[in-house]
Structure 1
């Protein structure tokens, strides 16, 4: 099996009936009104913005909105710099679609009911909601090209369900320009810093080596560039896994539990799949049996993986404390 993330399964619906049937405890999405069901194809749907913050209290209104415009939901942690790039990419792709999709950010720590409803076991977890029906997408981060494919699939599912409204933001937005086929023309996006753009472009074409070089150059220019540091850690993980298969990685680690390189591969695999605690526990359990050189390798790798997961993630805090105790 290839390490490349699979095409997301769009058929796995979650049960959000408790949210659908619960009265909203917050104001509706638009002042003085809620979205009307059954928007005509291409009809304008007033919304406060194309990027919204979802909560346990206001999600009923968002479910209502999904009857007119498909909604992408990300359960993440806004305080973690390592997750910011994934959120920024989702936002950028939503804005490119000029109202055909609305993006809802959910602070997972502050909204446990939504975390439970979406069965989110790791962050970020991304789902879609179409006509009130949640669709499981993926956990973690996936390359931009595959994310674009996911968005295209969501729009296809939405069209099949008659959800074809165009969100019209009240935050200074205007009716989207349409092309000759009647589809919204994506608005121009502010450019990324040159080296960040170079890294994004390299990742999209699968050239992780060039992406790593670009992020290293960005850090040389600005050692405090947290986005570049997190990007470098994430791309380095993808580079290490490139060309390897799940069966081979797990088989090698199982065959030789003392082989550090094999265990590091499994850790990368687990991190990429959102199994954060399993990954950290594997290295920390192995740590006491290693020689000084091996311990230095594990320490360096864990610091890098902390950037991948996010320094504010409680799982990172626990692993860091455990590592410190082992070191001293």
Structure 2
């Protein structure tokens, strides 16, 4: 099950264990995109065990405006020595160093209160030219990109953080539900959507997520493509086979093909099964962005059939 909320594991794209092998890529190079806060720690260090989780929480709350790298100095002694030679005071730990545009810009040593960590993170974000106020729009864009790239847990972490900041953010609720759908946790997705505040329950992102949930439940019961194609080939007026084929095609990611089968079914018998073809088309359209070519072409073709 995908765990969400404050008790979720750190987002892999935001918080990483870094070694000498990937220090350049995940700290120096990455800091050209967003600031990277590096936590130098060791397993035997008591203050490190206190500071680390607090710093992870502060970074996660920044909604992608800053990243964190964790470096075990015992396991990366050569790296620590090389950085010390370049002027970083790593004789005591924990030591926290912020990198912006490939260079260290700020640091502190020892455990500090959560309020100071939040202030440090805010200062680092501003040093990198970012929006330290939360930047919810930017966070939502980052989460959507993560979800599209398959980084579902990372996206869910950000959507959950946005909801904590703005409990009426329909985009965040819809995105969180879509994360659950993406990992097959359909009941969890339904629980997220059922928990949406009433005043935003009819907004487009919520309706889109409900549509995706309905399609996902249908996909779980869809039949084999080859058998459905064979049944339709044997009888092109087998409306149930065509309808089921559309569902199987959608489940297989062939959305445009699914829409075409439903359009064909509507053309042959628009009243079949209480207008099931049109209803299913609207469900697919609602689940997709309004500017998706499949939606635009599908709606145009459906309209031409309705008014023919």
Provide the TM-score with structure 1 as the length reference: 0.41
Query: Larger Cα Rg: Structure 1 or Structure 2?
Result: 2
Provide the TM-score with structure 2 as the length reference: 0.43
User: Relative CO higher for 1 or 2, CA cutoff 8 Å, sep ≥ 6?
Assistant: 1
